[in-house]
Structure 1
Amino acid sequence: MLTALSIRDVVLIEALDLEFGHGLGVLTGETGAGKSILLDALGLALGARSDSGLVRQGAAQAVVTASFEPGAHGGIAALMAENGLDFDAAEPVIVRRLVKKDGGSRAFVNDQPVSAGLLRELGAFLVEIHGQHDDRGLLNPRGHRALLDAFARADTGAVAAAHRGWREAVDALAAARAAQAEAERDREWLEHAVAELRALAPEPGEEERLAERRAAMQRGEKVAGELQAVAELLDGSDGGLARLRQAARILDRIAEAHPALADALAAVDRAIDEAGQAQDGVDRAAEALAFDPAALEADEARLFELRGLARKHRVQPDDLAALTEELAERLERVEGGEASIARLEQAVAAARRDYAAAAEALSALRGEAAARLDQAVAAELAPLKLDAARFRTVVQELGEEGWGAAGRDRVEFEISTNPGAPFAPLMKIASGGELSRFILAMKVALAEEGGARTMIFDEIDRGVGGAVASAIGDRLARLAARTQVLVVTHSPQVAARGARHLLIAKSHDGIVTRTGVHALDPGERREEIARMLSGAEITDEARAQAERLLEPA
């Protein structure tokens, strides 16, 4: 709801501060007093295109500030959150627009700089302005579906959830098909790679074991001759051990001949023992370093294959076993991919059925609500001197390419202004006065479901009077019981229904012309309505008629 409007240096307005309340507020004044300036200033604050011509002559800039009570409006909260703006439903939303003399402009929301585009988006949630050339609100077919859903009190959450589930299933299927196509391109390579790796059957740590064994056999090959020579020198028929044993036998027979011989025998025995240990060491080494040329060749070939395959796949030889399993799993997925895709196709079909069922139920609800809305609008047309017109709500099922989170229907409001005339979009066939009255009829019928919290009607009563003007005033008052309504009017019947009356007047001090706005008290209000009834000269009869109009209905 609009609570305050501050205007500085806009055309003929030097400084103006206005406060607004609930219910129906009326703005009146003589032609040329500046009512359009007031609406232009508010439009500027709501993101309308800036124009240096709005800056009052002699001023450097024009500034308009509007304060709103947003209430718990989900659209406002979401928009401000998306753009990093703080929002508290209990706090006012203050929009401000500054236009410089050179045409440059700046926009602010709660003193935070924003773009004019964001200001327009926010303004659409805050205020609806219906005038002679308005192309927003009810005239925009893009909003008709949401208005019908609000009128029907339809919960579109189930359809949105079903649509989301369907899209997720479709996306999963598309991803699986893409992966399958890519995998199919690799199938031949995978089959060859897996067969080659499985034929080799690499094991973790195998390369190290083969390398160590090959190195040992290569060392043995180098020292084999020397080891054989040592063995023959130690343990051959004419070797050292044989000669030591012969010497020991001889010394054993003659050891009693002299004590030194016993010592010599003991030394020879020790030498035999040491030589035996040396022989055992040589034998162990020979056994460890023994090599089979065929085994060495086989190990070398195996090692070459392991390292070659590792280079081919750009991994370490120890990772070949894990790579075998990984590629085998990929091949398995390729071979089992068609089954997986078939399951996903079934899931897509099931999700589509769920969406179609939810959308069909929503379409049926929309169809019922459309019939009720048509009746409700028709009941409002005759009192507004639109009894020859017809209104209808078109609910048309779209092709599958047009199905979405809000269902599968296109919704548009259409009218026929004369008997036998074809139906067409509202803004294409209604004149200015008819257009405003059609909008009022629809707003009343829709009970302001889904609209902004502040509505402004600019000269909705143009070209009508008497009973029609009274009907307009009555409907504006009914609408104002649910939301804030401001109306610029030349009709005393409409002005009399207001809960608050603002007079727009122009003054001239001989040098400067200014536009001002004055809140009228009951007496001043009666005088203004009497002026609207009688013209420049206010008669007692006009005052009496004004009193009758101001009497509670």
Structure 2
Amino acid sequence: MLMHLQVRNFAVVRQLTVDFTTGMTAITGETGAGKSIALDALGLCLGNRAESDAIRAEADKAEVIASFQVNSASPAERWLNDSELLDEEEPDHCVLRRLITREGRSKAWINGYPVTVSQLKQLAPLLVNIHGQHEHQLLTKPEHQLELLDAYARHADLLAEVANRYQNWYQLRKQQKLAQQQQEERQARAQLVRYQVEELNQFALQENEYSQLEQQHKRLSNSSELQEDSQFALNALFEGEHNNAYGLVQNALQRLEQQLSNDTQLEPVVKLLAEASVQIEEAARELRLYSDAIEIDDDLLVQTERRVTQAVQLARKHQLDPEQLPQLHQQLSQELEDLENAEAELAESDQKVQTAAQHYRQAAAKLAKQRQRAATELSEQISTSMRALNMPHGRFVIAVEHQEQATATKLGTDIVSFQVTTNPGQPLQALAKVASGGELSRISLAIQVITAAQMTTPTLMFDEVDVGVSGATAATVGKLLRQLGKDNQVICVTHLPQVAALAHQQLRVDKVTDGESTETKMTALDHDHRVIELARLLGGDSITAATKANAAELLATAS
């Protein structure tokens, strides 16, 4: 609940400090005194737009501080805790502060922590619910009627489910439409890639095969020279009849071995020649195997040349090196698979969209039943309140028309309309067509009081919602607000003495001037001053003994 409000240099307020109590508080004052100034200032603290012209004329900045008491485990307390803005020393208190400057800058704090205006707006509905004096004008708008019914029904989870299913359906349809738009382009690409993959499949060049082909081609095209030179080397090393390397090394080795007994310094040379002899013999063996393996195969050479040529041509076609063809083959095969899968997914998307649509329609139908149930209950309550508010023949009906195949929205597919009749024999018609201004105000008040009772917001504010009400009806209005104040803190700006008398606390707003400047002040009234203020509301500027007696009786009756 709102405990304390402090305002500095806001509009015509220089300095204002107000303490609020539980129950019902009435704010009264002369026309033009600024009775709504406290609500406007509080709205600034709750995230309303900051205008530099709201700053008092001679000041350079305006400041509003609002202190609330929050219950443990309440939505407000949970939000503060989740946002890490809870005052650990006083977790049951919440202080909002807003500062605006002449330059148009704005700052905000929650429990001393700097916050954004967006955060204020998130917290605001968890602390205060404000019903403005022009609320009845919104009452004729279909979207507002739907909002009021949903607020009364308190099915936020079901609304969220419908919105989520709508979003899922919308996203699937969006993806499907995009896929359909891309289908022609994708089909053309798939046709080209399929041809390229088939061509690469036929050629089937393996990894590292091209380098092997190049080596094989070079070997086959030079096979005669390779055989001739390897045979020459073999003869020179080992198989030649005269002066082959092996024989010469062996002769040298034998002669030096014989001289070892004469000079041991020859041992390293002898050792090297022995190793050389073994190496020459091994090289000769390898050369013999190599020479025997060489074959002159013209057919294989032609085949190899043809495959190398095809690889070069195919690589040139794709503007890459022949060695990269296997990698390209793999990439194009994967792309073709993805394109073909996309076609299959497009075919499956129809089923997904239909399923999402079915899930949405089911949730929307469930929401419609909830609304129809709540509409029946709320209609009865409003009809009862209308009769109490001096409309004895009043009947109110909330019609909920569920259109199963209507255009989907995140709020479902229902058409909600408020219908009313105020005279016997008069058929139900749309609220805007039947109700007069005064009747609309009273119906609006009944709806606001009833729906407010369903809300978990601890503080409810009503800004002159009793416009167009007078006499016995005014007393009923006061009783409704006082009854609402049993479970909620109710703060109402009123001009009706019958309503003000029923308040637990009364504040008077006065506009004072010294001839040079004007400011608004707000004063908490004790019993005697309440009698005087009620007498003024009853009789205008002329306060007589009769009006004071009437006011005292009114206050006593209310108590």
Query: Which of the five TM-score ranges fits, normalised by the shorter chain?
Result: 0.7 to 0.9
Which stretch of the first structure deviates more once superposed, 7-16 or 105-114? 105-114
The equivalent of 1:21 in structure 2 is: 21
Q: Displacement of 1:414 after TM fit? A: 5.0
Query: In the aligned structure 2, how far is the partner of 1:475 from the partner of 1:275?
Result: 120
Give how far 1:285 is off.
4.0
Change (3 A) 1:49 1:353: closer
Of 370, 376, 379, the match for 2:375:
370
Query: Superposed, which structure 2 residues align to 1:113-152 within 5 Å?
Result: 126-134=127-135, 141-152=142-153
Amino acid at match of 1:375: E
Rounded Cα–Cα distance in structure 1 between residues aligned with 2:46 and 2:553: 37
Is 1:207–1:303's contact at 8 Å kept on the other side of the alignment? yes
Distance 1:176 1:537, change over 3 A: closer
Residue identity opposite 1:62 in structure 2: A
Taking a change above 3 Å as real, the CA distance of residues 534 and 76 of structure 1, as seen in their structure-2 partners, is same
TM-score normalised by the chain length of structure 2: 0.75
Q: Could you tell me how far 1:305 is from its partner in structure 2?
A: 2.8
Work out which of the residue numbers 203, 214, 217 in structure 2 matches 1:214: 217
Query: What is the CA-CA distance between 1:15 and the residue it aligns to?
Result: 0.8
Q: CA deviation at 1:423?
A: 3.9
Asked whether the 8 Å contact 1:146–1:450 carries over to 2, the reply is no
- Residue by residue, what CA displacement relative to the aligned partner does 1:132-153 show, whole Å, maximum 9, x if unpaired? 4358875664343343234334
Root-mean-square deviation (CA, aligned residues, Å) is 4.5
Q: Tell me, yes or no, if the aligned pair for 1:492 and 1:532 is still in contact at 8 Å.
A: yes
The answer to whether structure 1 residue 7 and structure 2 residue 7 are counterparts is yes
Q: 5 Å matches for 1:280-429?
A: 282-310=287-315, 312-313=317-318, 320-321=325-326, 323-328=328-333, 330-331=335-336, 334=339, 339-387=344-392, 391-397=396-402, 402-413=407-418, 415=420, 420=426, 423-424=429-430
Instruction: Give aligned-pair identity as a percent.
Output: 33
Give the whole-Å Cα distance in 2 for the aligned partners of 1:425 and 1:316.
80
Deviation digits for residues 420-471 of structure 1 (CA, Å, limit 9, x no counterpart):
5984465x88666544422220023335435854333233334543311100
Give me the TM-score of the superposition, normalised by structure 1.
Answer: 0.76
Tell me if 1:183 matches 2:186.
yes
Cα displacement (A) at 1:210: 2.1
Counterpart residue type for residue 29 of structure 1: G
Spell out, residue by residue over 1:25-51, the C-alpha distance to the aligned partner (whole angstroms, 9 max, x if none): 101223343324444434444455655
Cα displacement string for residues 271-298 of structure 1 (whole angstroms, at most 9, x for unaligned residues): xx99998875654343355443442343
Partner of 1:546: 552
Equivalent position SS for 2:373: helix
CA–CA distance in structure 1, aligned partners of residues 238 and 28 of structure 2:
135
CA contact (8 A) 2:531 2:555 kept: no
Would the aligned equivalents of 1:26 and 1:486 in 2 still touch at CA under 8 Å?
yes
The match for 1:458 is 463
Offset from partner CA, 1:182-225 (integer Å, 9 cap, x none)? 43122321221122111111222212322333344455444444
Paired with 2:282 and 2:34, the residues of 1 have a C-alpha distance of: 126
Contact 2:364 2:412 in 1 (8 A): yes
Q: 159-168 vs 465-474, which deviates more?
A: 159-168
Q: Which residue of 1 aligns with 2:199?
A: 196
Paired residues of 1:44 and 1:97 also in contact (CA < 8 A): no
Pick aligned residue for 1:98 from 100, 120, 125: 100
Distance 1:438 1:294 in 2: 104
Q: What amino acid sits opposite 1:532 in the alignment?
A: L
Change (3 A) 1:527 1:223: same
Corresponding residue of 1:251: none
Deviations 1:305-359 (CA, angstroms, capped at 9, x unpaired): 3354345446665664465455445545655665544443233323322322232
Counterpart CA distance in 2 for 1:234 and 1:123 is 102
Instruction: Give yes or no for contact 2:136–2:441 (8 Å, CA) kept in 1.
Output: no
Go from structure 1 to structure 2 and tell me whether the alpha carbon gap of 1:190 and 1:480 turns closer, same or farther (over 3 Å shift).
same
Aligned to 2:473: 468
**CA, structure 1 residues 504+60, in 2 after alignment: closer, same or farther (shift >3 Å)?**
same
Distance 1:235 1:462 in 2: 127
d(CA) in 1 for partners of 2:81, 2:403 = 32
Are the aligned partners of 1:69 and 1:92 in contact in 2 as well (CA < 8 Å)? yes
Equivalent positions of 1:513-528 (< 5 A) are 513-528=518-533
Q: Which residue of 2 aligns with 1:264?
A: none
Structure 2 vs 1, CA of residues 451 and 196 (structure 1 numbering), >3 Å: closer, same or farther? same
What one-letter code is carried by the residue in structure 2 that aligns with 1:189? Answer: L
Residues 132 and 436, structure 1, Cα contact 8 Å, conserved in 2: no
1:118-137 Cα offsets, whole Å, 9 max, x none, are 76676566544444435887
The answer to whether the 8 Å contact 1:132/1:433 transfers is: no
Cα distance, 1:158 vs. partner?
Answer: 4.5
Which whole-Å CA distance do the structure 1 matches of 2:133 and 2:322 have between them?
82
How many equivalent residue pairs?
521
Look up the equivalent residue of 2:94 and give its one-letter code: P
1:62–1:234 distance in 2 versus 1, CA, 3 Å: closer
Name 1:255's counterpart in structure 2.
Answer: none
Contact 1:2 1:66 in 2 (8 A): yes
Q: Is the 8 A contact 1:526 1:547 kept in 2?
A: no
The structural deviation recorded for 1:18 is: 1.2
Deviations 1:92-141 (A, max 9, x none): 251414252x7x35242426777778766765665444444358875664
Closer, same or farther: CA 12–285 of 1 in aligned 2, 3 Å: closer
